[in-house]
Amino acid sequence: MSEYIEHAPSGTSVGRVEKRFFTVAEANGPLTVESGRALGPVVLAYETYGQLSQRADNAVLVLHALTGDSHAAGYYEPGDAKPGWWDLMIGPGKPIDTDRYYVICSNVIGGCMGSTGPSSIDPATGQPYGLTFPVITIGDMVQAQKRLVEHLGVARLLSVVGGSMGGMQALEWSVRYPDMVRTAVPLATTTKHSALAIAFNEVARQAIMADPNWNGGNYYDGVPPAHGLAVGRMIGHITYLSDEAMRQKFDRRLQDRCENSFVLEEPDFQVESYLRYQGQKFVDRFDANSFLYITKAADYFNLEASHGCGSAVAAFAKAKCRYLVASFSSDWLYPTYQSRAMVQAMKKNGLDVSFVELEAKWGHDAFLLPNARLSGMIARFLDRALVDAAKEDARAL
Amino acid sequence: MRYDLSIIASWIEPGSKVLDLGCGSGDLLHILSVDKGVRGTGIEREEGKVSRGIEKGLSVLHGDINEEVADYPDGHFDYVILSQTLQQVYDPARLIREMLRVGKRGIVSFPNFAYYRIRGQLLFRGRAPVSRELPYEWYDTPNIRVITIRDFRRFCRKEGFVIERETAVSTPHHHEKGAVVTFLPNLLATYGMFLLSRRGA
């Protein structure tokens, strides 16, 4: 996920929001993660917008991508340079309308934006976990979120919505806790990381680990591996764009010069300068170890293996929700064929699914950019979910 | 509502599950869901129409009808509709077989090529027919199949599709007004509409 953050053309801001914390597992009652290790205490940083209805049937869980956080909408302080990362989608009168829905967004475990991760203090040693933090999975992120959602008084989510790694969590939710999910909106995502996606993540991890400052993950009392992390981020950025996007945005244009510099260390091209800037900006806000852990979790993601003994059809046999799946034509990280494959498996189970491949030249990042069609579809999909939920409740009475 | 679609709608039982192949922006499914409580899914190949359908609160899949129809379990739908698209289908027998596998019944409608005015153009002017129902020249038409009501009946007999119901209508292209044609339908009707089921089903 990149740094594109723009305001929606319609609707207003949800306004000032606050980051909260909830301990989903104590030190004496730890969370057992998929690798078999126990982790505790586990804290999740989260934000909520809007009001939970009396029937608690209007909760929408928004799930962030690789480097996102709990700050999905609004601002912390009036002078904030940027609103939350999906401010164009979430707010009063926006597709995920905070006048109608109770929106929850939490930072994933393993993260570095307030939730327990490798930079947190291990109570056993009084030192940051570093590489003693257990390897986690998308399933682990979701089981921690479940505890938060229940704590907030929600037994059944109206929808789970997310793009990229957020979409993986939405898919995981829908098969892991089918009775807690009415609808799911996985965007620009996949049921399993491809070799291409793993390859890019591995190169990014190697860049961090090759930085001498990384020091086996022990750098919290010294200089962080900023260069390695920046390079990792640069690689990520390439995968979030597309050939066409880069051609349009940069082509071979030079940065602040009229001719080649003939100096190796100098960034000649705009694309070089852009990537360097994105990399440098990232190291100010992200922890290198978190990047290692979260990319690994994405690489391990394989819904078919974890829930269907290798079969997507068997995995989705567990699901009960209605889906809205969208892919983007120029996304080469999670290309459309991967969305089509999940849709096919949903259909084979007779699940109610909508699917659209949106024409977009901006590559994988398109899900974060303004798109009137996507906004309209999400708005109406959630609206129908709320109407259906009310009907279902009326029948149950 | 378009006259031909209103006939299709009148054949569908309230509360049933419907798949509409080539649903466009979902007008028929929308009416069926509002008026008859139908739970519908549409398949459409144009992105803009798909998103408009979803914005109507419908479930719509973006893709090719021949491929997308294949993934559903047997008998998943009560009705599968193919409205005015048959003339563009490469392998109609295969598609209708799939329709009757995933659906208990199929509804097929198409422009009748044996309509007297079309016959007249060929007979008197010696030209490939161009009409309101089939508004294309020979070189730009998406319609690769020439179908008449009589031919379609023969086709169903040969393929073993049971015709449960048949209506011929005369209605201007995409118009709200029209009439059922019972006298010499193959000559006087602009559209043929059939409700099909599988033999032995």
Radius of gyration of chain A (CA): 21
The reported pTM is 0.94
Query: Which distant-in-sequence residues (6+ apart) come within 8 Å of A211 by Cβ?
Result: A225, A226, A227, A228, A229, A288
Of the given ranges (A84-93, A372-381, B132-141), which has the lowest mean pLDDT?
Answer: B132-141
* Residue A397, pLDDT above cutoff 90: no
Nearest CA in chain B to A359: B47
Tens-digit pLDDT profile for residues A94-132 = 999 999 999 999 999 999 999 999 999 999 999 999 999
* Residue B19, pLDDT above cutoff 70: yes
Q: Does A356 contact B60 at a Cβ distance shorter than 8 Å? A: yes
* Residue B174, pLDDT above cutoff 90: no
Q: Is B59 on the interface with A (CB under 8 A)?
A: yes
How distant is the alpha carbon of residue A236 from its chain centre?
Answer: 14
Q: Is the alpha carbon torsion for A341, A346, A347, A353 positive or negative?
A: negative
Residues of A with Cβ-Cβ distance to B41 under 8 angstroms: 352
Q: Are A39 and A31 in contact (CB under 8 A)?
A: yes
Whole-number pLDDT of residue B133: 77
Q: Is the alpha carbon torsion for A369, A374, A379, A384 positive or negative?
A: negative
3-state DSSP call for residue A117? coil
Q: Does A348 contact B50 at a Cβ distance shorter than 8 Å? A: no
Bond preceding residue A41 cis, omega within 30 of 0:
yes
Nearest CA in chain B to A371: B51
Q: Does B54 contact A352 at a Cβ distance shorter than 8 Å? A: no
Tokens representing residue B153 in the block: 């009946």
Q: pLDDT tier at A11 (50, 70, 90 boundaries)?
A: low
How many structural domains compose chain B? 1
Q: Is B58 on the interface with A (CB under 8 A)?
A: yes
Average pLDDT over residues A180-188: 98
Domains defined for chain A, CATH in brackets: 20-192+302-396 (3.40.50.1820)
Whole-number pLDDT of residue B201: 61
**Identity of residue A188:** A
Tens-digit pLDDT profile for residues A162-180 = 999 999 999 999 999 999 9
Bond preceding residue A267 cis, omega within 30 of 0:
no
Q: pLDDT tier at A3 (50, 70, 90 boundaries)?
A: very low
Q: Is B48 on the interface with A (CB under 8 A)?
A: yes
Residue located via tokens 């190796």: A264
Q: ipTM score of the complex?
A: 0.92
Query: Which distant-in-sequence residues (6+ apart) come within 8 Å of A192 by Cβ?
Result: A301, A302, A303, A304, A305
Tokens representing residue B28 in the block: 């028929």
How far apart CA B152 and CA B92 sit, in angstroms, is: 11
Residues of B with Cβ-Cβ distance to A366 under 8 angstroms: none
Q: Provide the CATH number for the domain around residue B182.
A: 3.40.50.150
Catalytic residues of A: 164, 331, 364
Q: Is B104 on the interface with A (CB under 8 A)?
A: no
To probe the interface with B, which of A316, A347, A381, A386 has the most B CB atoms within 10 Å?
A347
How far apart CA A174 and CA B76 sit, in angstroms, is: 22
Of the given ranges (A8-17, A82-91, A287-296), which has the lowest mean pLDDT?
Answer: A8-17
Q: Are B166 and B195 in contact (CB under 8 A)?
A: yes
Residues of A with Cβ-Cβ distance to B61 under 8 angstroms: 343, 347, 353-355
When CB atoms are compared, the residue of A344, A349, A354 closest to B59 is A354
Q: Are A47 and A105 in contact (CB under 8 A)?
A: yes
Tens-digit pLDDT profile for residues A195-206 = 999 999 999 999
Average pLDDT over residues B107-119: 95
Domain that holds residue B10: 3-197
Average pLDDT over residues A197-223: 97
To the nearest whole Å, the CA of B63 is away from the closest chain A CA by 8
Q: How buried is residue A262: exposed, middle or buried, by Cβ count under 10 Å (0-12/13-18/19+)?
A: exposed
Q: Does A348 contact B72 at a Cβ distance shorter than 8 Å? A: yes
Q: pLDDT tier at A369 (50, 70, 90 boundaries)?
A: very high
Q: Does A324 contact B48 at a Cβ distance shorter than 8 Å? A: no
Residues of A with Cβ-Cβ distance to B72 under 8 angstroms: 347-348, 350
How far apart CA A253 and CA A244 sit, in angstroms, is: 15
